[in-house]
Structure 1
Amino acid sequence: MKTLVLLAAIFAAQSSAQSKPEDTEVWAPEPAVVTTGPLAPAPPPSDAIVLFDGRDVLGWESVQDGSPARWLVHDGVMTVAKGTGNIQTRQRFASYQLHVEWRVPAGIMGEGQARGNSGIFLASTGDGDLGYELQIIDSYANRTYANGTAGSIYKQLSPLANPSRPPGEWQSYDVVWAAPMFHADGSVERPATITVLMNGVLVQDHAVLSGPTRYVGAPRYAAHGRAPIKLQDHGDPSAPISFRNIWVRELNR
């Protein structure tokens, strides 16, 4: 039995070493374009935890070292600051309802994944590829692989539609996140599921996740508990993503 386990581990390591990012890109079918009206900011419900109210980033920390977040706050908006890295909430969550409003800068250049790239990690289990990423990117007349467009669970679940607005306009995500549950031995008792409305349009419908996001290779679970929500600094100084009006409601499920 030990020999079989060892051989399986060696095979998995070899397979991972031979994998390429393109192996998990799905280009078709492309999500159908849906047009939506202007965004009306959604005030938080009375029982919500406000994660960003437009005044400061005191509820957020650097993923890298736990220091206070250094993203910029101006006129009620939080914007990625060059070279400061990913940030995450100081508070940890299990299942929840989340509202986030985000904006790609007007006049953005580039194409594909190099145009307004960021992401929301619904449960940040570490830095890098570790976590469950709801993709943020400019998908308005910008073609890329379907499971890497706005509203996708990156490299895993393509969105049901593309309701993206033009760069410079505010967009919204409303998320119902059911965190995964694990047995004592680390095996999956219940996989994570997600429902997402983008600009009021359903783009993920109680979709089942196969594990956290991975840039290379297939997703797979590793047991974890409550986790912070992470916002990604993708490292593109010419296209800093902005956020506003972020709140969460914890769910018992």
Structure 2
Amino acid sequence: MKKLNFFTITFLISLLFSCSTQENASDEGSETAETEESSEVASNGGTNGWEVLFDGKSLNGWHNYLSDSVSGWYVENGILITDGGNNDIVSDQEYENFELDFEWSISEKGNSGVFFYVVEDEKYPVTYATAPEYQLIDDENYPIELKPVQHTASNYDLMVADEATINPPGSFNQSKIIVDHGKVEHWLNGTKVVSYELGSDDWNELVKDSKFATMEGYAAVHKGRIGLQDHGDKVMFKSIKIKVL
């Protein structure tokens, strides 16, 4: 009996030690998985208040303007692409005060833009009827002569982008739009190139002298959807994220 008790106790101690070791390994594996998951989220920008608007895998969170789904736009190698002729897409959510970061690449002779405060309503047939635009375009090769207010990073048709340094068609550029209680900044490749205040006297004068003068709903609200323009040319986007201010 004494020998049996001795071996029994020895077996139980070994069993407890084995379970403890497996539990520690499991905990370490769990911590590693959590760390890897946190690193992946961080690399996608989904931390510190940032929300990923394009996950590099799907079109979740977007739909064609005045539609319930996305048609024509697609994802390839982590990049959001339209080859042209597929209509604008807008975010499912609306935003008021925010910082929007994104990377983009335009095709040669191409034209596109990023909108904010898009009001999605059938009485407005196009996104730009209501939404200010951050212009994206091939400044050098566009087939029609451009006015300065139509160049890349400009507040389209209203304000010129100063000191804009643009990478050539086919290369990616980094852009940022900051909107904070009506005050707006456009950034391009690390440089602030435009700033303005929605609804200010200066803003209203600019609108009066622009193509938007007769558009009743243009910049009339300070909350709306984010829009990506399909102007008929190939354009690519990636690393789209937003932080609510």
Q: Give me the TM-score of the superposition, normalised by structure 2.
A: 0.68
How far does residue 102 in structure 1 lie from its aligned partner after superposition? 0.2
Distance in 2 (alpha carbons) for counterparts of 1:134 and 1:96: 15
Instruction: Give the equivalent residue in structure 2 for 1:201.
Output: 191
Instruction: Give the equivalent residue in structure 2 for 1:93.
Output: 95
Match of 1:134, SS? strand
Q: State the aligned residue count.
A: 186
Question: How far does the alpha carbon of each residue in 1:6-53 deviate from its partner, in whole angstroms, 9 at most, with x for none?
Answer: xxxxxxxxxxxxxxxxxxxxxxxxxxxxxxxxxxxx852612110012
Instruction: Give the equivalent residue in structure 2 for 1:185.
Output: none
Instruction: Give the equivalent residue in structure 1 for 2:239.
Output: 245
Q: Which amino acid aligns with 2:226?
A: I
Q: Which has the larger radius of gyration?
A: 2
How far does residue 66 in structure 1 lie from its aligned partner after superposition? 2.7
Q: Which amino acid aligns with 2:228?
A: L
Distance 1:60 1:203, change over 3 A: same
Runs of 5+ in structure 1 lacking a partner? 1-41, 109-114, 180-191
Is the Cα–Cα contact under 8 Å of residues 136 and 150 in structure 1 kept in the other structure? yes
Distance 1:165 1:81, change over 3 A: closer
Distance in 2 (alpha carbons) for counterparts of 1:175 and 1:217: 20
Is the Cα–Cα contact under 8 Å of residues 134 and 186 in structure 2 kept in the other structure? no
Distance in 2 (alpha carbons) for counterparts of 1:195 and 1:225: 15
Instruction: Give the equivalent residue in structure 2 for 1:35.
Output: none
Distance in 2 (alpha carbons) for counterparts of 1:59 and 1:163: 31
Q: Which amino acid aligns with 1:102?
A: W
Distance in 2 (alpha carbons) for counterparts of 1:225 and 1:174: 18
Question: How far does the alpha carbon of each residue in 1:153-192 deviate from its partner, in whole angstroms, 9 at most, with x for none?
Answer: 100111111211111110011221125xxxxxxxxxxxx3
Distance in 1 (alpha carbons) for counterparts of 2:174 and 2:57: 19
Q: Which amino acid aligns with 1:249?
A: K
**Counterparts of residues 104-253 of structure 1 (less than 5 Å):** 104-105=106-107, 108=108, 115-126=109-120, 127-128=125-126, 129-130=128-129, 131-140=131-140, 144-179=146-181, 192-205=182-195, 207-209=196-198, 210=203, 216-218=211-213, 223-224=220-221, 226-236=223-233, 240-251=234-245
Q: Which has more helix, going by share of residues?
A: 2
Distance in 2 (alpha carbons) for counterparts of 1:217 and 1:56: 34
Distance 1:229 1:171, change over 3 A: same
Q: Does residue 1:80 correspond to 2:82, yes or no?
A: yes
Is the Cα–Cα contact under 8 Å of residues 84 and 231 in structure 2 kept in the other structure? no
RMSD in angstroms over aligned alpha carbons? 2.6
Match of 1:147, SS? helix
Distance 1:141 1:178, change over 3 A: same
Is the Cα–Cα contact under 8 Å of residues 139 and 162 in structure 1 kept in the other structure? no
How far does residue 122 in structure 1 lie from its aligned partner after superposition? 1.4
Distance 1:96 1:69, change over 3 A: farther
Q: Give me the TM-score of the superposition, normalised by structure 1.
A: 0.66
